[in-house]
Amino acid sequence: MRNLIFEHMKDIEKLGLLIMNIHEMRYLAVMKDAEELIRKMHKSNFTIKGIPIDDKETYKLLCDARIFGVFQMGSKDLRDILKKLRPEVFEDVIALVALYRPGPLGGGMVNDFIRRKHGTVPVKNIVPQLDDILKETYGVIFYQEQIMRIAGVLGGFSMGAADMLRRAMGKKKPEEMAQQREKFVKGAIANGIPKDKADKIFDIMEHFAGWVINKSLGAAYALIVYQSAYIKAHYPLEFLAALIINYAEDIDMVSKCVDEIKGILIAETT
């Protein structure tokens, strides 16, 4: 059924129907169980929703890449990126989620973002109008919303037209892209941007369009990353116990959890 829906996705969209891709979220059960264990073991009214978003211990855990069991943070490559990125604020966690995908990894966006974030490479936008739009990502485009804002601020597009541009860039149809380019360049020139720079900006948007994600999606995933990292940083035993409860059939996962628990208990007794 799922393959049939994807095969006819464009026809379904034309009918005006909403398509939703719902992922398995067993990990939410881990969070719920950890929350309940913390309340029970510490006789507290702890809630995940009440945790601060600027907790230093949580960001230290991420910077040190002590991320076994943290939501979607299992790969060695990701640990290496975390150590280089050194996230300091929640926006950095959103960026991590957005960048850790095949396109950005293969296209060099990750290293470019990290170098700019830490000031080893200067941030130079083509025109000043991009400064505010790309400020949080240091001049790198990796959110769909950024493409839409560039279309609106520089090209004079309405929000509806900007969304159509975003979709067209994702589909990469040459005839449609030529029409969108003409419209964007014309609007940018009307806003005082030279044609050569307008063309260059459009080229950059078109290049990154296949790799960008919706920021709201990235933020939702990043919130679970942060929340699970917070619990592991402050309540590691309860966190690992919740993992064991929900992944009891995964021998490798359980074994790693037991090893971490042993390490914590040994450290507490020395």
Q: For residue 244, is pLDDT > 70?
A: yes
Residues 117-176 pLDDT 10s = 999 999 989 999 999 999 989 988 889 899 999 999 999 999 999 988 888 887 777 788
Domain assignment of residue 99, yes or no: no
Residues 122 and 191 in one domain: yes
In this structure, the answer to whether residues 135 and 204 fall within a common structural domain is: yes
User: Please, what's the b/e burial string for 17-31 (b: 16 or more CB within 10 A of its CB; e: otherwise)?
Assistant: eeeeeeeeeebeebb
**Count of domains for the chain:** 2
The pLDDT of 48-52, averaged and rounded, is 94
In the predicted model, is pLDDT for residue 247 greater than 80? yes
- Average pLDDT, stretch 181-208? 92
| Residues 187 and 245 grouped into a single domain | no
Cα 191 to Cα 126: distance, rounded to the nearest angstrom: 14
Is-contact 244 237, C-beta < 8 A? Answer: no
Q: Are residues 242 and 156 in the same domain?
A: no
267 lies in some domain = yes
Q: Kindly report, residue by residue over 162-193, the tens digit of the pLDDT.
A: 988 888 887 777 788 889 999 999 999 999 99
Does 187 map to a domain?
yes
Structural domain for 124, as ranges? 114-208
d(CA 95, CA 89): 10
